[in-house]
Amino acid sequence: MNLETVNTTLWVIIIGMALVTYIPRLLPLVALDAEKIPPVLARMLRNIPYAALGALIFPGILGIHDQLWYGLVGGVVAVGVAYTGAHLIVVVLSSVAVLSALAVLL
Amino acid sequence: MKTKMEDQATGQPTLPGFFQGLQSGLSIAIGYMPIALAFGLLAKNTGISLAHTVGMSLLVFAGASQFMALGLLALGTGAVEIVFSTFIVNIRHMLMSMSINEKAIQESTLRRLIYAFGITDEVFAVASTRDGVVGSNYLYGLGLMAYSSWVINSGIGYAAGSALPEAFQQGMSIALYAMFIGLLLPSVKKYRKALFLSGTAALLNAGLVTFFPAGWAIIGATIGAVGLLELVQSSRKDRTKEDGDES
C-alpha cells in the first residue's frame, strides 16, 4: 500500500470506530422513554452505577503494573483517603503521589 | 434534596449547571491526563501521524478501544476487525446510557444527541453517583472537561510524552481507579446495597474476564450483580411478606 492509501484507510478506520462508539452511547437516550420504563427495570437501572463501579475497579486495578501489589497499594490508599470524606481530587492525587514515590524507590 | 431536584427540574439557572459540570469534570481531566499522554506516546511509536492521533481522540473519545486500535494497527490488522473490536469493547456504554437516561431530566433530542457523545465510563460514574437528577447543561460541562483533557493530552503525549519522568507516568496509572474508588466509597458507607452490588460485580468480573473480552465481562458482571440483588430482595420479601419498597 502506498502512503496515500494508508492515510485514507486510517481515516476510514477512525470514522468507523467513531460510529460504533457513538451509537451505543446514543441509542438508549433516544430510543427509551424514561417515563414508560416499568418500575422494576427503573430500579435496576438505578442500581447499575454501584455494580458498574465495582466491575470497573476490580480486577483492572491489579493490572496497572507487573507487580499486583502496586495497584493494590494504590487502591488501599484511595479507600483510606476516601473513607475520611476527602474531596475526589484529593483521593486521586494522594494515590498518584504515593505510587509515584513508590515507583522512584523501586 | 427535594428542593435541589425542583431547582434543576424547573431548569431556571442554566449556566451554573454547566459550571458545576466543569468542576465535577476536573478529577476526570486529571485522571485522563496520564492515559491520554500514554496514548499519544504509543500512537507516535506505532507510526501514525499526529493528525490521526488527535483525530482519533476527537472523534472516538474512548480510551480502551483507542489503545486496542493501536495494538491492532501495529499487528497489521484490517479495518473491519479494528472497527468490530471497538464495537465489542464499547457496547458496555449502552448499559451506562440506559442508566443515565433514568437519572437525567427529559430534555430535547438534540441535547441528548450532544451529551451522548461524552458518555465514557468516567463521565457516567461521576454523573450517576451525583445526588438528585442531572440536566444536560451539567452533562455538557462534565463531558467537555473530560473531552478537552483527553484530546489535548493525546496531542501533548504525541509531541512530548517521552519527556515525562517515568516514576510519575507510573504513579499516574492509578488515577482513574482512585477516582472510581472515590466515587464509590461514600455510597458504600451509606448503603449496604452499594457494598453488595459493587462487591458482587467485582468478583463476577474477575471470573468473567478470564473467559470473555473485558467489555463483555463488565456488562455481564454489572447485569449479574444487579439481577442477583433483585433475586435476593424478592426472595426476602416473599419470606417476610413485607410490602412496600425498602429503597
The arithmetic mean of pLDDT across residues B208-237, rounded, is 90
Please tell me what DSSP assigns to residue A1. Answer: -
B13 Cβ under 8 Å from any chain A Cβ: no
Grid coordinates belonging to B89: 469493547
Confidence of residue B3 (pLDDT cuts 50, 70, 90): very low
Question: Chain A: residue nearest B26 by CA?
Answer: A89
A12 neighbourhood in chain B, CB within 8 Å? 79
B60, B181, B203 ranked by CB distance to A91: nearest: B181
CB contact under 8 A, B98 and A58: no
- What percentage of chain B carries pLDDT values higher than 70? 90
Q: Record the pTM.
A: 0.79
The ipTM (two decimal places) reads 0.88
**How much is the mean pLDDT over chain B?**
87
Separation in Å, CA B241 to CA B150, B236, B244: 51, 8, 10
CB contact under 8 A, A102 and B171: yes
| Identity at B142, one-letter amino acid code | L
Per-residue pLDDT of A46-81, as tens digits, reads 899 899 899 989 999 998 899 999 999 999 999 999
Task: Quickly tell me which residue has 489503545 as its cell.
Answer: B67
A52 neighbourhood in chain B, CB within 8 Å? 95-96, 99, 121, 124-125, 201, 218, 222
Question: Chain B: residue nearest A18 by CA?
Answer: B60
Which of B92, B181, B200, B247 best probes binding to A when mutated, by most A CB atoms within 10 angstroms? B181
CA of A49 vs chain B CAs: smallest distance (Å):
6
B170 neighbourhood in chain A, CB within 8 Å? 65, 99-100, 103
CB contact under 8 A, B87 and A20: yes
Residue B134 β-bridge partners: B104
Residue B6 has pLDDT above 50, yes or no: no
| Three-state SS letters, chain B | CHHHHHHHHHCCCHHHHHHHHHHHHHHHHHHHHHHHHHHHHHHHHHCCCHHHHHHHHHHCCCHHHHHHHHHHHHCCCCHHHHHHHHHHHHCHHHHHHHHHHHHECCCCHHHHHHHHCCCCHHHHHHHHCCCCCECHHHHHHHHHHHHHHHHHHHHHHHHHHHHCCHHHHHHHHHHHHHHHHHHHHHHHHHCHHHHHHHHHHHHHHHHHCCCCCHHHHHHHHHHHHHHHHHHHHHHHHHHHCCCCCCC
A74 neighbourhood in chain B, CB within 8 Å? 174, 177-178
